[in-house]
Amino acid sequence: MEKVIVGISGGVDSAVAALLLKKEGYEVEGLFMRNWDSTINGDVLGNPNSLMDICPQEQDYNDALELCKELGIKLHRVDFVKEYWDYVFTYFLEELKKGRTPNPDLLCNKFIKFDLFIKEAKKLGADYVATGHYARIKDGKLLRAVDLNKDQTYFLADVPPQNFRNVLFPIGDYTKPEIRKIALDNNLNVAHKKDSTGICFIGERNYQKFIENYLKPNPGPIVDVETKEVIGTHTGLMNYTIGQRRNVGISGNEQRHYVCGKSVKDNILYVAFGEDNKYLMSDECEIENVNFISGLRPTFCTAKFRYRDTDHAVELVYLENGNIVVKYPGLAKAVTPGQACVLYLGEECLGCGFIKSVRLENTNLWYLQN
């Protein structure tokens, strides 16, 4: 009997993944990853015993433990707190300092879930590893999930292709409602549990207050990019992202102003009036640190510039330094340095690169990048 180690998070998706694999006849064991410790990392906001900071992760573990008892499988627990800090959170902070908008979920998948987790699973004798991601692997290709609304290939696009060997995605052929129904029909303890949202190490806490534990606030002017007038004061550039509309800090017409750029050098936050303002648009970007999962190197394909983005038809120009210029003459809004540009050819996820610079009409958008 082949052995599968399943990443059990304490949520419904990984629970059903384990259930499905067990019904298929695999020898299944669970592995719970502990990646963050508020008491060690000093973000408990003044109370080292704060239940708000400690309980959610422990509750997930308790839910995972109860689930595995229900399924009759063993649950292992591994601590990746130091590795998560070194490989994911440190990068997250450094990108914020540069005025960029990082996506730690991609790095967590690359360095933790599909590297360290796999190595730990092999120590436990795994023939395969599995997770509750909405994705599919067929003939060595990473494919979008059947449920396109839940598809998570965007977050898997930076994983080296060799790390997908012997990886199973049991729920990729199901829709979320189907997964919920399976959990309910089998009386799983997490059947009604809400999906986790947002950045895992922040959880339900206030983002700005959390970041202040690590990066000192540095207020500065908010400038209308067209009139050059100072129209407000920001609380620190790390608290804003391109395209942001709410909680920018402008009195009066705040709901009509959108963040369109940052100057780290001058500590200025630039905003543009109106959601269709040209300063929010671009027609090409350059991506770096490119990772190809597929062996294909197309000239034309589609791209997503953020997780919930639509597919944009793009042309790829391959540079000698390994970077790629991604051209999209149809224009795209709020393409953001630091975010991942994930490439697709039909349902196949080709890989990704991280947005280095953004341009409009072949002119550098200086206000986005200096």
Beta strands in the chain (DSSP E): 3-7, 27-34, 75-79, 128-130, 135-138, 141-144, 167-168, 220-224, 230-234, 257-263, 268-273, 281-292, 300-304, 312-318, 324-333, 340-345, 348-360, 363-364
> Structure tokens of 89?
């959170």
Contact present, 155 and 113 (Cβ < 8 Å) = no
**Which structural domains are found in the chain, ordered by start?**
3-185 (3.40.50.620), 216-273 (2.30.30.280), 278-369 (2.40.30.10)
DSSP letters spanning 247-288: T---SSSGGGEEEEEEETTTTEEEEEESTT-GGGEEEEEEEE
Q: What is the pLDDT of residue 276?
A: 87
Tokens 């052929």 map to which residue?
173
The candidate with the shortest Cα–Cα distance to 214, out of 85, 82, 79, 368, is: 85
Q: What is the pLDDT of residue 53?
A: 46
Please state, as a whole number, how many other Cβ atoms lie within 10 Å of the Cβ of residue 113.
24
DSSP 310: P
Q: Looking at the annotation, which residues are catalytic?
A: 108, 200
CA–CA distances in Å: residue 127 to residues 28, 122, 165, 166, 227: 10, 7, 10, 7, 62
CA 223, CA 220: separation in Å to the nearest integer? 10
Please state, as a whole number, how many other Cβ atoms lie within 10 Å of the Cβ of residue 40.
11
Q: What is the pLDDT of residue 367?
A: 46
268-273 sheet: strands from edge to edge: 230-234, 220-224, 268-273, 257-263
Would you give per-residue pLDDT tens digits along the chain (370 residues)?
A: 899 999 999 999 999 999 999 999 999 999 999 988 766 555 544 444 444 444 567 788 999 999 999 999 999 999 999 999 999 999 999 999 999 999 999 999 999 999 999 999 999 999 999 999 999 999 999 999 999 999 999 999 999 999 999 999 999 999 999 999 999 999 999 999 988 766 766 666 678 888 988 999 999 999 999 999 999 999 999 999 999 998 888 876 556 899 999 999 999 999 999 888 999 999 999 999 999 999 999 999 999 999 999 999 999 999 999 999 999 999 999 999 999 999 999 999 999 999 999 998 766 565 455 5
Q: What is the pLDDT of residue 259?
A: 95
> Structure tokens of 333?
């809004």
CA angle, residues 258, 259, 265, in degrees to nearest 5: 155
Half-sphere exposure of 14 (CA within 13 A, CB side): 27
Q: What is the pLDDT of residue 360?
A: 87
Q: What is the pLDDT of residue 165?
A: 94
Q: What is the pLDDT of residue 59?
A: 85
Contact present, 283 and 316 (Cβ < 8 Å) = no
Contact present, 154 and 304 (Cβ < 8 Å) = yes
CA 277, CA 257: separation in Å to the nearest integer? 10
Residue 100: alpha-carbon gap to chain centroid: 14
CA angle, residues 189, 194, 195, in degrees to nearest 5: 115
| Cα Rg of the chain (Å, integer) | 22
If you count them, how many residues does the chain have? 370
CA 166, CA 133: separation in Å to the nearest integer? 15
